[in-house]
Amino acid sequence: MSSHDVMPEMGLYQPVSVEDAVGLASQLAERGWLVGGGQDTYGWLKDRAKRPEVLVDLKGIESMRGVRETADGIEIGALVTLTEITRNPLITERYALLAQAAGRVASPQIRNVGTLAGNVAQDARCWYYRRGLNCYRAGGNLCYADTPEGMNREHALFNTSRCVAVSPSDTGTALVALEAQMVISSSSGERVVDAEDFFVGPNLDIRHMTVLRPGDILTAVRIPAKWANAEFYFEKVADRNVWDFALVSIAAAMRVNNGVIEDSRLVAGAVQCTPRRLTSVESAIRGKARNQETADQVASLAVQGAQPLNFNHFKMPLMENLVNRAVRGHA
């Protein structure tokens, strides 16, 4: 594949209202491409691995900015940058889990322009797919990563279905843990989808990472008060501490009373195509003390059912260790 590295000729719309943007997105459908911070956009377009005809630049839509307090929690505009998330007092004080996750995305430069919506809606980072190969995810007939000698160190352990890419989103795990809701506008109106259902695996839709379809715009993310000021644990292990995607990450929210875990949400990242709820661990720790002993008892539950590929067996002990840390509450 030649490296083009310049933008192809294409149209540009810069709507200033969600209504206009939705109208454009709906009218353009597959021909259009929504751009916010652009961190997942320009690589695709410059490499010409994706070929939309028109860009719809959402950055001019003021209503998609800002963090607002609501009757039941907060609402974060889709265009809020990751840096803003790490600094917003409403988030850092009540939902530090999200702030921690956002603070571990990529690099400061990318966080300064990258948005929350972009981070959760970004496409798979499988290197074969990103190279522009016509794999399953790109509409082709095969997966290059899941082969006898495929280079799949960063790929999935669970719930693969032809495609073995993982969810690259750091904030996605935190949002699922916080039971966030995604507000999606389209020409048929607004709908609200649980973060857990927002992400879709290849078994359901091999071409998309989320429920978003052409014409849909993720306008905001709502976080309910349920987990506000809970005990949180976030950790992302990547080769590099800056500008890298997770090898495995863990986001946990817990309600702990007198040292006993009353309720929890544990979500692992980069182990399957969507953030992975660890429901068996959640059940196992309910009513147990939050300590090392409990962690040692339940950590192995997290990797039950894992189906490692050639080079990603390490994700099993790594995931187990991170779950152990999340449950005991410290590194």
The residues binding another protein (CB under 8 A) are 1-9, 48, 107, 127-128, 131, 133-134, 139-144, 146-151, 153, 160-162, 200, 203-206, 213, 237, 239-244, 247, 308, 311-318, 321-322, 324-325, 331
CA 257 from centre of chain: 30
| Smaller CB separation from another protein, 7 or 192 | 7
The Cα 268–Cα 169 span in angstroms is 11
Q: Tell me the closest approach of the beta carbon of residue 243 to another protein, in angstroms.
A: 6
Q: Tell me the closest approach of the beta carbon of residue 153 to another protein, in angstroms.
A: 4
Residue 42 backbone phi and psi in degrees, to 5: -70, -30
| HEC readout, 251-319 | EEEEEEECCEEEEEEEEEECCCCCCEECHHHHHHHCCCECCHHHHHHHHHHHHCCCCCCCCCCCHHHHH
* One-letter amino acid for residue 71 of the chain: A
| Smaller CB separation from another protein, 9 or 189 | 9
| Smaller CB separation from another protein, 230 or 322 | 322
Cα–Cα nearest to 102, from 29, 178, 193, 169: 169
Q: Tell me the closest approach of the beta carbon of residue 144 to another protein, in angstroms.
A: 7
The residue with tokens 């007198």 is: 258
| Smaller CB separation from another protein, 229 or 304 | 304
Q: What are the Cα distances from residue 17, in Å, to 10, 63, 69, 256, 304?
A: 22, 7, 21, 43, 46
CA 49 from centre of chain: 22
Q: Tell me the closest approach of the beta carbon of residue 157 to another protein, in angstroms.
A: 13
The β-bridge partners of 266 are: 252
| 3-class secondary structure, 103 | helix
Q: Tell me the closest approach of the beta carbon of residue 94 to another protein, in angstroms.
A: 27
The Cα 278–Cα 188 span in angstroms is 34
| Smaller CB separation from another protein, 16 or 142 | 142
The Cα 269–Cα 275 span in angstroms is 5
Q: Tell me the closest approach of the beta carbon of residue 222 to another protein, in angstroms.
A: 23
Q: Tell me the closest approach of the beta carbon of residue 325 to another protein, in angstroms.
A: 7
| Smaller CB separation from another protein, 70 or 241 | 241
| Smaller CB separation from another protein, 133 or 230 | 133
| Smaller CB separation from another protein, 160 or 181 | 160
Question: How many residues comprise the chain?
Answer: 331
| 3-class secondary structure, 210 | strand
